[in-house]
Amino acid sequence: MSFDRNWIYHRFCETSYIRTEFCDGVKGFLEFAFTQLEYCSGDKIRCPCIKSDNQKFLDRDTVNVHLLRKGFTLGYSTWFAHGELLGKVPPISTSAAEASRSMDVGYEHGEKYRTMAMEVMGPEEALHLGSAPEVNHKEEPNKDAADCYSLLKDAEVPLWEGYKKYSKLSAISQLLTCKAEFNISISFYDRIMKIAKNMLLESEKLPPDFYQSKKILQKLGLKYTSIDVCENNCMLFYKKTENLIECTICGHPRYKLRRNDGGGRRKNVSYRRLRYLPITPRLQRLFMSSKTAENMSWHVKGGDSDEMVHPACGEAWKHFDHIHLSFSTEPRNVRLGLCTDGFNPFSQSARPHSCWLVFVIVYNLPPSMCMKRPYIFLTLVIFGPKSPGKSIDVLLRPLIDELKISWEVGVTTYNISRKENFQMKAALLWTINDFSAYGMLS
């Protein structure tokens, strides 16, 4: 297939109509994708629109509509998720250097908020934005990376011109904290924002309402998903079973019975649930810091040591690289370990209660970094009161689904050290746990 895909990024003409070239390109894409039968699921293919991002299998007509309405996901100029081999693609004429520069402004109350934004992009001690070496071909950061750089700029922008006590981000963070602490309604928050904006100087940068305030902080990417679980750990109410009201295996109801007091509609309360924190966005953050991005390839040279200083020096690591050459030839692909254990969140004298946490560790990094707290990611919180036991595999399904996509397809990631986008994949190499958890995970 031709790599001349500039049409992907030029969907509309000057009159705001979809370009004929774009329509023809989408038609060509669909014809190509449906000839790659091993990448199809029946009469469906992965939808590469900016919203689905190759996560969903959809039929031909739906994919066509999505692409015309929303456009292709950023950086998808090589159709690797649809059978096209990765190759060199002519770079899009963009400039990414400006997005990674930061200013040095000494806010009295704003430094910790700037640190918060920097920690989202990568641990603070490893962050040196704008210090990456120049390369011949520069690419625009993908949407997630651009959001993080935008957030860092908000941490540097004064609340109004010449004012250094609060930055835009620190002011928004404190206002939203007050809303949460005192349970302020959205309408009251909007009213306060309107009054505050009228009191401040004309150059003030406050957002006008709660919606815009929340939209700015969403760039942190600290999202989680609540998933209801059968009380007997038989199944998750997830994806195809998301709307069921009872377990398909044991028949246990999903929600607790609540007395109807005639007071109007009340929200259902599930017997049990877990919290899932996606890992892919946090892995992408590691490549948004120039120093961390360089260390993500440390294992290539560090694994040649004669001494066992890192798992990369072991036979298991080298055997994996030998078996999966398509994965190991890209040194930036991520090697992960999984660990889990249960604990009682209450005092030891309280009645037994078992809460389980699942962590993922990044092993690309050198020994001095890979076991440090910033690089150990919490992915699942499994609430009690009972231990999941051997049914923990059911509860791990959201993480397994994400890891399968990371292994098979990968995700477009911006590497600040090279100023380019690449297709990051991830592999889970092993688990770490005590003997009781070993019996559950084996």
- Say whether both 283 and 209 belong to one domain: no
- In a domain, residue 214? The reply is yes
* 136 pLDDT more than 60: no
- Say whether both 343 and 418 belong to one domain: yes
- Say whether both 402 and 428 belong to one domain: yes
Q: How far apart are CA 79 and CA 33, in angstroms?
A: 8
CB 381 within 8 A of CB 392: no
What is the pLDDT, as a whole number, of residue 96?
Answer: 34
Q: How far apart are CA 53 and CA 346, in angstroms?
A: 41
Tokens 């231990």 correspond to 387
Q: How far apart are CA 433 and CA 345, in angstroms?
A: 19
The domain in which residue 341 lies consists of: 277-441
What is the pLDDT, as a whole number, of residue 256?
Answer: 87
Of 220, 240, 269, the one marking the end of a domain is 220
For the chain, the average pLDDT equals 79
- Say whether both 27 and 142 belong to one domain: no
- Say whether both 281 and 327 belong to one domain: yes
Which positions ≥6 away from 63 have C-beta within 8 Å? 30, 45, 47, 48, 49
| Of 88-102, 243-257, 316-330, the least confident | 88-102
- In a domain, residue 256? The reply is no
- Say whether both 74 and 154 belong to one domain: no
What is the pLDDT, as a whole number, of residue 87?
Answer: 47
What is the pLDDT, as a whole number, of residue 158?
Answer: 82
Residue range 59-75: average pLDDT? 87
Q: Please report the DSSP string for 290-351 in residue order.
A: HHHHHHTTHHHHHTT-SS--SGGGSHHHHHHHHH-HHHHTSTTSEEEEEEEEEE-SS-TTSP
For 258, other C-beta atoms within 10 Å of its C-beta total 10
- Say whether both 314 and 437 belong to one domain: yes
Q: Regarding predicted confidence, which is higher, 102 or 388?
A: 388
- In a domain, residue 356? The reply is yes
- Say whether both 322 and 427 belong to one domain: yes
For 182, other C-beta atoms within 10 Å of its C-beta total 8
- In a domain, residue 122? The reply is yes
Domain count, the chain: 3
Q: Taking Cα atoms as reference points, which of 282, 267, 246 lies closest to residue 374?
A: 282
- Say whether both 116 and 44 belong to one domain: no
| Of 71-80, 376-385, 394-403, the least confident | 71-80
Q: Is the omega angle on the peptide bond into residue 385 within 30 degrees of 0, that is, cis?
A: yes
pLDDT per position as a tens digit, 278-296 = 999 899 888 887 778 888 9
pLDDT per position as a tens digit, 322-370 = 999 989 889 999 999 999 888 877 766 667 778 889 999 999 999 888 8
- Say whether both 136 and 213 belong to one domain: yes
Residue range 296-323: average pLDDT? 86
- Say whether both 171 and 133 belong to one domain: yes
- In a domain, residue 92? The reply is no
- Say whether both 153 and 35 belong to one domain: no
pLDDT per position as a tens digit, 148-172 = 666 667 667 788 887 878 888 888 8
